[in-house]
């Protein structure tokens, strides 16, 4: 039995991180094979910005459930690459909105076919090994931890020791 499987729930976070790293590595390898200078970590921003041009950094952080600082750092990274710009909103001069540059739009057009291949490839992998309920289980776990955070659960168990 695999070390991680043997430890069960004790290493759930480590297993999820390991799975995430394997996934991101494979996707980045596809981008590299296709000669596309794109990092899988940029996907959420590119996807959201295509769907909702003009997002603020706060809207981005709220939608992705990441800190404002993390959203700002990701945005800065994309700005340095010349893929996005922050522009002052025409409706509210205090608000800055995120938009693709022409280079960002061109890159988006190149990565979209890759995205169209990722979902069915993963669906096939999940169907093949009977893990088709993975997304449902993750959604349920996220909801459960939203209702009562893991920190609270652990502290409650510690108090019982």
Q: Identify the band that residue 125 occupies on the pLDDT scale cut at 50, 70 and 90.
A: confident
- Residues 87-116 have pLDDT tens digits of 877 777 778 899 999 999 999 999 999 999
CA atoms of 53 and 45, how far apart (whole Å): 10
56-84 pLDDT, tens digit per residue, is 999 999 999 899 999 999 999 999 999 99
Q: How many residues does the chain have?
A: 161
The answer to whether the CB of 60 falls within 8 A of the CB of 71 is yes
- What torsion, rounded to 10 degrees, do the Cα atoms 100, 102, 105, 107 define? -110
Listed in sequence order, the DSSP H helices in 34-129 are: 43-51, 57-64, 68-80, 102-128
Q: Tell me what pLDDT residue 130 has.
A: 67
The pTM assigned to this predicted structure is: 0.80
Question: In the predicted model, what is the mean pLDDT of the chain?
Answer: 89
């Amino acid at each position: 039995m695999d070390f991680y499987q043997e430890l069960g729930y004790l290493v759930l976070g480590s297993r999820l991180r390991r799975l995430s790293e394997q996934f991101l590595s494979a996707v980045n390898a596809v981008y590299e094979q296709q000669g596309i200078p794109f990092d899988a970590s940029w996907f959420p921003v590119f996807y959201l910005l295509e769907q909702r041009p003009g997002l603020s950094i706060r809207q981005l952080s709220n939608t992705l459930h990441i800190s404002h600082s993390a959203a700002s750092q990701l945005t800065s990274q994309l700005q340095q690459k010349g893929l996005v710009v922050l522009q002052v909103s025409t409706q509210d001069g205090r608000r800055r909105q995120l938009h693709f540059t022409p280079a960002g739009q061109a890159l988006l057009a190149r990565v979209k076919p890759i995205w169209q291949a990722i979902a069915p490839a993963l669906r096939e992998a999940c169907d093949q090994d009977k893990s088709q309920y993975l997304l449902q289980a993750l959604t349920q776990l996220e909801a459960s931890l939203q209702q009562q955070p893991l920190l609270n659960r652990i502290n409650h168990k510690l108090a019982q020791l």
